[in-house]
Homo-oligomer: A and B are copies of this chain.
Amino acid sequence: MIADPSLPADVELAALAAAVVEACVARGLTIATAESCTGGLVGHLLTDVPGASMCYLGGVISYANALKEGLLGVDGHLLVVHGAVSGEVAAAMAEGARRRIGTDISVAVTGIAGPDGGTAAKPVGLTYIACAGVAGTVVHERRWTGDRRANKRASAGDALAMALAAADATGRRAAY
């Protein structure tokens, strides 16, 4: 049971990650991550699952904006116009990771984990989570209300749930 949806328990995050690995491996799908505010947590959760190397190829922790451009190929124009914490940049991060790492599915997270960095327009907790797959890209806007650690974990849970949905919606790869 999750009392506060913004604070998933470690055991629930672990179960979600295991479900993502299982769903990907069952279908012969590969997955990548592109993380800003979660800082590697999604990759960490996936790689706690034995056998994750059968589907998880890796990812980029693009904490600084320069890495969003340099390592993920996010258009600098998007960063200027929409800001790093935006649905447009989340989608571009996911699509860049999927293209550069060459996977079937990718998830991306960009947000303001706190306690600093918030503004009136973009408060602490505002987070965009994107999942790119064979059917296109989906973006969630979330406004978490926890502290830094809770917001990171809530975002990771959301990213894993989106990856699971994308895997479940994808047919078995023709190549397998």
Q: Does A115 interact with chain B (Cβ within 8 Å)?
A: yes
Contact across chains for B37 and A47 when beta carbons are under 8 A apart: yes
Number of residues in A with C-beta < 8 Å to the partner? 41
CB within 8 Å of B: which A26-77 residues: 33, 35, 37-44, 46-48, 50-53, 56-64, 66-67, 70-71
When distances are taken between beta carbons in the complex, the residues of chain B under 8 Å from A122 are none
Q: A53-B63, A60-B58, A71-B60 are in contact. Are A152 and B39 (CB under 8 A)?
A: no
Hey, which bits of chain A sit against chain B, CB under 8 A?
33, 35, 37-44, 46-48, 50-53, 56-64, 66-67, 70-71, 100-102, 113-117, 148-149, 152
27 examples of A-B residue contacts, CB within 8 angstroms: A33-B40, A35-B43, A37-B47, A38-B47, A39-B40, A39-B43, A39-B48, A39-B56, A40-B41, A40-B43, A40-B47, A40-B59, A43-B43, A44-B152, A48-B149, A50-B114, A53-B63, A57-B64, A58-B61, A58-B63, A58-B64, A58-B71, A59-B61, A61-B61, A71-B71, A71-B100, A71-B101
Query: Given known contacts A44-B152, A50-B148, what 13 new A-B pairs fall within 8 Å (CB)?
Result: A33-B61, A39-B43, A40-B42, A44-B44, A47-B61, A48-B152, A50-B114, A58-B61, A58-B63, A58-B64, A59-B61, A60-B60, A71-B100
